[in-house]
Amino acid sequence: MPVFHARVQVSLRPSVLDPAGEATRAAAGRLGVHGVQRLRIGKAIELDLEAPDRATAEAQLHLLSDRLLANPVIENWTLEISEAG
């Protein structure tokens, strides 16, 4: 069965305050980099999924992203899929 490689990028929705991102932005200034206009912290999840075909893999990855990896109340997610190997 083919294996699909996926990368799910989870980011806070623009309306949600990101205090950790703000603290990091302040630290960038202390490092001497003063031009950082915006800094938001998200997370990336990489996984390999075995599935009979790409459509099935996509459906399962959508379910995973929407119900487990991200919480749509506060987060957005994007998905990249490629066939491994």
Where does this chain bind other proteins (CB under 8 A)?
A: 15-17, 19-20, 23, 68-69, 71, 73-74
Minimum distance from residue 63 beta carbon to other proteins (Å): 13
Question: In whole angstroms, what is the distance from residue 67 CA to residue 52 CA?
Answer: 22
Output phi, psi for 61, to 5 deg: -70, -35
Minimum distance from residue 24 beta carbon to other proteins (Å): 11
Pair of tokens at residue 63: 């379910």
Which candidate, 59, 61, 38, places its Cα nearest to that of 49?
61
Minimum distance from residue 19 beta carbon to other proteins (Å): 5
Nearer to other proteins, 2 or 24 (CB): 24
